[in-house]
Structure 1
Amino acid sequence: MDGMQPAPEPLTQHIQRVIARVRAYDRRHPAAWDLHLTGLCVSVALLDHATGGWRAVARSTEAPDWLVIALNLGFAVPLLWRRGHPLAVLLAMTPVALVNAWTGTVLQAAMLQLVVVYNIALRLPLRTLAWTAPLTIAPVLVLAVRHPLNGWNQELVPPLMSIAVAALAGIAVRTRRDYTEALEDRARRLEIERDQQARLAAAAERARIAREMHDIIGHNLSVITGLADGGRYAAAKSPERAAQALDAIAGTSRQALTELRRLLDVLRDDHQHPEAGLAPQPALTDLDQLIDGVRAAGLPVRLTTHGTPALPPGRQLTVYRVVQEALTNTLKHGGPGATADIALSYAGRGAATVTVTDTGHGARPVHGTPTGRGLPGMRERTALYGGTLEAGPRPLPERGWRVRLHLPEEPPP
């Protein structure tokens, strides 16, 4: 409701936001953060000496002031390099800690060794922790032997527990950091893989569209060209034949425009044409209409069929497009007087063999021509169903071209 006050922010979220800001500042200005922390520790250590607070916990107050100041600085100043060289810092602190224990001064600044142990567990290989044991336990043993105050349990257990807690804290933070980095790296790799999959899908879709447009436009333009050539020759001798050629050109053009418009409607993203994808693709039942159009363009075609066609729609489209492309190439390159034969053979579970031969003698495109999309498109369609496609000149002494498609049986469900 409008009059309701927003719920107060949980304390944990506020703390997390503050911690995130501190970490962000630390990443941007590591040297400044180290200087601030080291300066704070030095100030607290010197204040402890100035107020004499160290005497309340010391086991011996006979150490001169200069030595107490030196010990405080020896514990606090090396913290400036704790992140870059934590093991070297601990080695530098060890003599200071031994003198602190030997004299019985027992400065509170000695606890800064735990910060260094934490950084060793956080930043160095875990086997390096083995070096921290003798370096941190030696001062504890010296103090227990030199200035005994309680039993051995009370002398050793609390310092050892503090060292173990510091090491475990460093290991826990390191584990969480490594896990977070692994998740971030995995997210980056998944994002890259997603982008790659999107690019591959877009490339495959572009190839499919180019293949469909080539089959639609290329074939119909070849038929229109053949009809126009025939109509031009018939115009002088038989006006009726010329009119029939013009009618056929008009029909073929409308069919090409219809198929092209349907393909372009599928590409639209505005959902204004939801019925665009519902138009059926060409199938085997459309072969007769395709062959009639080619015959009208001046290419005699003979069709023979063996077996009963029982192919799923995808395989029917492949057969149709291969026959269409083969006849289109014959129209374009076969030359005058060329004829074409189509042999269709069907077997069980979607198997089919299609052979298209012609008697043309015109020049054919080279298989590796980069601008030609006919043969590559046929091979791509064939590869979808694990089939094989052969295209090339017929063996001598025969002339012409042969295209042979074989689709194997579908695997059992």
Structure 2
Amino acid sequence: MTEIRPTSTTGSTTGLPYLQRLTQRVRAIDRRHPLVWDLLLTGFYVIVAITDVAGDGWRTVAADPGVPQPLVIVMSLCFSVPLLWRRRHPMAVLAFTSAVGLVNSASGALLQAAMLQLIVLFNIALRLPLKTLGTAGAMMTLPLVVGVVRFPDDSWDAQIVPYLWAYSLVALLGIAVRSRQDHTAALVERAQRLEVERDQQARLATAAERTRIAREMHDIIGHNLSVITGLADGGSYAAAKSPERAAQALEAIGTTSRQALSELRRLLDVLSDDAPATAELAPQPALSDLAQLIDGVRAAGLPVRSTVRGAPESVPAGRQLAVYRVIQEALTNTLKHGGPDATATVDVTYAPDGVTVDVTDTGTGRAPGAPGTRTDTGSGRGLTGMRERTSLYDGTLEAGPLPRPSGGWRVHLHLPLSPAKDDKTP
């Protein structure tokens, strides 16, 4: 039985990657040490040109083999040595070698070293504006015409057209390499720009997340500490007259503290590296928790009257949290700045077009022995957080003092319910 073995193509496929790696190494050397590379390349072609002269190889193609040897050596050096400046001054090098080419064609030496002009032409196509290729082509064609006129051997097109084809192919090769380099440079620039934009987006996202966390911590800690402060003040007054009420205040302080610690721990768990495994996935406060919030404020000593019209079921969760936090912050400000005789009113209206909230109080900010007016004028983090939450849903927020003589403070919020706008987590 004849064994049929598959034809191996390894040899044909492994050569290309090797060639690519070799080319990349050569380019890397060229980028790091351009002068060394230019010296090596120029030295190589100088040796080749002098070898051709020393071996009399040029006489096999010369139209006049009797050209003096010193002239041939000088022309060979004039074709090869200027390659050292082909990158910095390609047009000057081409003009010089074209003048040497005129002497070469007129003398009949027809040195093959004249083909080194193709290297200069390649650099012109690679580095200079494309309109210079026309001038370069004219300078390279002129010696050919002089040679045809001076030594007519065959038809003129047979002597000129092959060289013109060579010039065109080298110019096209330079244009192709240039286009590839430009495309690669554009891709690199785009990648760098995308990387910068990605870093900027990451920094913006980090800043937004920090703002959100600061807002949440302010709402959690600020409100609960205000409630605890109110309870502690009330308990200290009640301790002398009604120990039972003092004990109730202490119990309320403990409950509020535990609630604040629980919410703070849940927020910190989300920030930890192992948050998916350990974070408590408790729901955020919603409008259904308003009664509990108001009861806690009442327990802290602030009389609150609440009115609710409609049902919150149609309000998305993100908007519910925003409304809850605004009411919480407004009541916290009343606790902190309203004074000992302040009262508050919470009016919530659920309508098909949105949610409207009015929180008003009668506080003046004048406590016994502490003259002055209210300090919640809008420069703190609390009102800033309320405005940020409101702006997430294109809502409107108004906060400011009520007209005298009644005085007090009013916070008015309206959040539209737009089904076309995605719900966000404030």
2: CA distance between counterparts of 1:299 and 1:162? Answer: 96
CA-CA distance at 1:275 after TM superposition = 5.2
CA-CA distance at 1:367 after TM superposition = 2.6
Matched with 1:73 is 77
CA-CA distance at 1:153 after TM superposition = 2.4
Q: Which residue of 282, 292, 296 maps to 2:295?
A: 292
C-alpha contact (below 8 Å) 2:327/2:359 kept by paired residues: yes
1: CA distance between counterparts of 2:50 and 2:332? Answer: 95
Q: Secondary structure at the match of 1:273?
A: helix
2: CA distance between counterparts of 1:286 and 1:306? Answer: 15
2: CA distance between counterparts of 1:207 and 1:379? Answer: 13
Aligned runs of 1:119-138 on 2, under 5 Å? Answer: 119-138=123-142
Q: Which residue of 264, 272, 283 maps to 1:280?
A: 283
CA-CA distance at 1:271 after TM superposition = 4.3
CA-CA distance at 1:261 after TM superposition = 1.0
Matched, 1:364 2:382: no
Q: Secondary structure at the match of 2:131?
A: helix
Q: Please list the CA deviations of residues 193-242 of structure 1 after superposition, one character each: whole Å capped at 9, or x if unmatched.
A: 11111111111111111100100000000000000000001001100000
Q: State the TM-score, normalizing by the size of structure 1.
A: 0.95
CA-CA distance at 1:265 after TM superposition = 1.1
Q: Please list the CA deviations of residues 370-413 of structure 1 after superposition, one character each: whole Å capped at 9, or x if unmatched.
A: xx310111111111100011111112333111111111231448
Matched with 2:415 is 407
Matched with 1:30 is 34
Q: State the TM-score, normalizing by the size of structure 2.
A: 0.92
Matched with 2:307 is 304
1: CA distance between counterparts of 2:193 and 2:25? Answer: 27
CA-CA distance at 1:62 after TM superposition = 2.1
2: CA distance between counterparts of 1:129 and 1:187? Answer: 32
Matched with 1:202 is 206
Q: Secondary structure at the match of 1:383?
A: helix
1: CA distance between counterparts of 2:14 and 2:385? Answer: 62
CA-CA distance at 1:127 after TM superposition = 1.0
Matched with 1:4 is none
Q: Please list the CA deviations of residues 345-388 of structure 1 after superposition, one character each: whole Å capped at 9, or x if unmatched.
A: 11115x111111111111223433xxx31011111111110001
CA-CA distance at 1:274 after TM superposition = 4.9
Q: In structure 2, what residue type is equivalent to 1:389?
A: L
Q: In structure 2, what residue type is equivalent to 1:254?
A: R
C-alpha contact (below 8 Å) 2:266/2:279 kept by paired residues: no
Q: Secondary structure at the match of 1:205?
A: helix
Q: In structure 1, what residue type is equivalent to 2:198?
A: R
Q: Which residue of 146, 152, 157 maps to 1:148?
A: 152
Q: Please list the CA deviations of residues 238-260 of structure 1 after superposition, one character each: whole Å capped at 9, or x if unmatched.
A: 00000000010011011111111
Q: Which residue of 60, 64, 73 maps to 2:64?
A: 60
Matched with 2:405 is 397
Q: Secondary structure at the match of 1:410?
A: coil
Uncovered stretches (5+) of structure 1, i.e. residues with no partner? 1-6
Matched with 1:110 is 114
Q: Secondary structure at the match of 1:10?
A: helix
C-alpha contact (below 8 Å) 2:333/2:376 kept by paired residues: no
Q: Secondary structure at the match of 1:250?
A: helix
Aligned runs of 1:302-381 on 2, under 5 Å? Answer: 302-309=305-312, 310-348=314-352, 351-362=354-365, 363-368=374-379, 372-381=380-389
C-alpha contact (below 8 Å) 1:265/1:273 kept by paired residues: no
CA-CA distance at 1:94 after TM superposition = 1.2
Percent of paired sites with the same residue: 64
Matched with 2:371 is none
Matched, 1:217 2:228: no
CA-CA distance at 1:43 after TM superposition = 1.1
2: CA distance between counterparts of 1:133 and 1:18? Answer: 32
Number of equivalent positions: 402
2: CA distance between counterparts of 1:246 and 1:115? Answer: 93
CA-CA distance at 1:143 after TM superposition = 1.0
Aligned runs of 1:174-253 on 2, under 5 Å? Answer: 174-253=178-257
C-alpha contact (below 8 Å) 2:315/2:417 kept by paired residues: no
2: CA distance between counterparts of 1:344 and 1:202? Answer: 34
C-alpha contact (below 8 Å) 2:79/2:100 kept by paired residues: yes
Matched, 1:388 2:396: yes
Q: Which residue of 44, 59, 62 maps to 1:40?
A: 44
Report the aligned-residue RMSD: 1.4
Uncovered stretches (5+) of structure 2, i.e. residues with no partner? 1-9, 366-373, 422-426
1: CA distance between counterparts of 2:404 and 2:273? Answer: 52
Q: Secondary structure at the match of 2:66?
A: coil
